[in-house]
Amino acid sequence: MATVTYSKASRIYPGTERPAVNQLDLEIGDGEFLVLVGPSGCGKSTSLRMLAGLEDVDQGSIYIDDRDVTHLPPKARDIAMVFQNYALYPHMTVYENMAFALKLRKTSKSEIDRRVKEAAALLQLEEFLGRKPKALSGGQRQRVAMGRAIVREPQVFLMDEPLSNLDAKLRVQTRTQIASLQAKLGVTTVYVTHDQVEAMTMGHRVAVLLDGELQQVDTPRALYDTPANVFVAGFMGSPAMNIKTVPLNDKGAEFAEMYIPLTREQVEAARAEGGDGKVTVGFRPEDCDLVSPTEGGMPVVVELVEDLGSDANVYGHAALGGANERFVVRTDRRHMPNMGDTVFVKPRTGRSHVFHAKTGTRI
């Protein structure tokens, strides 16, 4: 087990002006499961590959414990990586795939046998040890790739979107297995995904990246409840938070005929730094109520209703500032409106998120 530290680490690809990873400062604790998440092209896989030694670090440093590994070859870093495509040898059996790295290290046959069988038992692969990868399902191949990493007993596990090739049901099942396996082994793990649901359910902490820059790193609950900026607020959560930039006045944030009250400090912060009389306000679909027309809600015309069984997502639009803005609200399925209905939406008191209209930072 080990700590991992990115110290102002940057990766700049030749011929590009913008760094793929820009001045990344991040500390990962001993035994921690940290998830790197963000949209495609945000630099999360590049950050992982820099740690693995598969990408150069152009500026800054990377440490495993107190050892500077910035310019060490991958084999000298004591890490094990699980790739998106599993990277199994098709001509080898499951046993041979899992044992291969240990054979290269000239580990004794008895030690190889012990480690492979222990990992196979942990991953419920005992009955598949004699099979070749083509005879396995996607989930089983993914577990073999995990087993190959486990037998090496590395200081750090690196996982690059290992579930992206699995179907939806198997992804849910396998992410639970990975999280419980990591807790059992206690190995420091850095896990990359573009799926914010995966990030929320698996990581001890989650680091959100955008355009190569770290936006926020915190526990899943803290990211969800107190996002640091508009991007994090909109990225974490499904369906996404309703976020709109609206006029600001003494009554608060103006949403058509509805006003969301703000504190004096929020109003002052919104007006500073060129706020131009506007403020950005967000509220999550589950933090709203459908109210009667007399209760001061915002009129929303229903376009689509998703019946999820336990509840429902209501999608619609409201007229704000001369344009139709889209909103989504989660409601009790026993009170679902119909397409074309006009409903009145009101965020719950104290559940709104307020951001500066120009900088996008939380206020």
What tokens appear for 328 in the block?
Answer: 């989504």
Collapsing DSSP to helix, strand or coil, 323 comes out as strand
**pLDDT number for residue 10:** 97
Angle at 41 between CA 238 and CA 160, to 5 degrees: 80
Does residue 185 share a domain with residue 246?
no
**pLDDT number for residue 274:** 80
**pLDDT number for residue 100:** 94
Mean pLDDT of successive 10-residue stretches along the chain, which has 363 residues: 94 94 97 96 96 96 96 94 89 95 92 94 92 92 92 94 86 89 94 93 96 97 97 94 94 90 92 87 96 91 93 95 92 90 94 95 96
Domain count along the chain = 2
Residue at 308 is within a domain: yes
**pLDDT number for residue 61:** 98
Q: What is the pTM of this model?
A: 0.91
Does residue 47 share a domain with residue 194?
yes
Does residue 144 share a domain with residue 46?
yes
**CATH number where 146 lies:** 3.40.50.300
**pLDDT number for residue 151:** 94
User: How many CA atoms, within 13 angstroms, populate the side-chain half-sphere of residue 96?
Assistant: 10
Does residue 343 share a domain with residue 301?
yes
Does residue 133 share a domain with residue 40?
yes
From 234, 251, 268, give the residue that closes a domain: 234
**pLDDT number for residue 28:** 98
Cα–Cα dist 229/354, whole Å: 9
Q: Among 319, 238, 343, 327, which Cα is nearest to 282's?
A: 327
Does residue 279 share a domain with residue 216?
no
Residue 203, Ramachandran bin (φ over 0: left; ψ between -120 and 50: alpha; else beta): beta
Contacts 24+ apart (CB under 8 A), 152-155: 152/80, 152/101, 152/102, 153/115, 154/78, 154/79, 154/80, 154/187, 155/1, 155/2, 155/64, 155/65, 155/78, 155/79, 155/187, 155/188
The answer to whether 100 touches 89, Cβ cutoff 8 Å, is: yes
**pLDDT number for residue 251:** 84
Run of H or E including 355: strand 353-355
The answer to whether 28 touches 190, Cβ cutoff 8 Å, is: yes
**pLDDT number for residue 218:** 97
